[in-house]
Amino acid sequence: MTEACTELACAFYGQITSTVVPVTSPDAAEMTKLFENIFRAVNIALVNELALLCDRMSLDVWEVIDAAATKPYGFMRFTPGPGLGGHCIPIDPFYLTWRARSFDLTTRFIELAGEINTQMPRHVHDLVVRSLNRQRKALNGSLILLLGVAYKPDVDDYRESPAFKVLDLLEADGARVVACDPHVSVFESHHGTIYTTEPLTDELLASCDCAVIITNHSAFDYHHIAELAPAVVDTRNATRHIQGPLRTKIELL
């Protein structure tokens, strides 16, 4: 708020980070944080839309991304997924679009990105249906194993996790859903329902109708999962190193 405040804030943050970048106001600082998160959200939306298109065109979006990432300049790698998670990226863009309306501006680009990202759990649902169809099974009554509840790998933070929406969509169509996460034992969905995760066992893998990789935790043995589960939907390309006959059981995002 004042020059003295800026100096004090820089002195404080200088104790915990090597570089402090002062700006002219708290508003500029807040917009900087929003922009950083929205930049990621918009680019994730772009690659998510590319994933949807590649699926329609029978192309491997992960191969396309890997090839594009070999360009030494002008390209920044983003990867698709089952939806946004965490306490920043799914929320910040919508806060700014709301705030922009008070300045008589519609942030159409940001809102479009939000629409694309929020539809990805529906795409995951459709991939599960496709995987079950190959086994001549219906989603209604099938046991679906969700691998990962946390919104990113190797953490216990499940705030705004896309697993919630995927779970809701599957249960709404009659599936029996079991969640496994080595970092989360109990979690509360966005509508207040309390769930308990199960330990990942060989019996559970063999008895499920489809395993869905939501979070690519390093603790998961993906080759073992592909061996035992009748079918796998991989939303994170965690099974990229698996080749041979097991590859035919895996449905990529």
pTM for the predicted model, two decimal places: 0.91
Q: What's the Cα-to-Cα distance from 209 to each of 74, 126, 128, 136, 137, rounded to whole Å?
A: 43, 15, 10, 11, 8
Digit-coded pLDDT (tens) for 102-135? 999 999 999 999 999 999 999 999 999 999 999 9
Q: What's the Cα-to-Cα distance from 26 to each of 1, 19, 213, rounded to whole Å?
A: 7, 18, 40
Domain ranges of the chain: 25-117, 120-252
Residues 6+ apart with CB under 8 A from 213: 147, 148, 220, 222, 225, 232, 233, 234, 235, 236, 238, 239
Cα gap 4→78, rounded to integer Å? 40
Residue 154: how many other CB atoms lie within 10 Å: 12
- Identify the architecture of domain 25-117 in CATH: Orthogonal Bundle (1.10)
Active site residues per annotation: 88
Residues 6+ apart with CB under 8 A from 79: 47, 62, 65, 236, 237
**CATH assignment of 120-252?**
3.40.50.720
Q: What is the pLDDT of residue 190?
A: 75
Low-confidence ranges of the chain (pLDDT < 70): none
Nearest to 95 by CA among 8, 34, 186: 34
Bridge partners (DSSP) listed for residue 195 = 187
Q: What is the pLDDT of residue 242?
A: 95
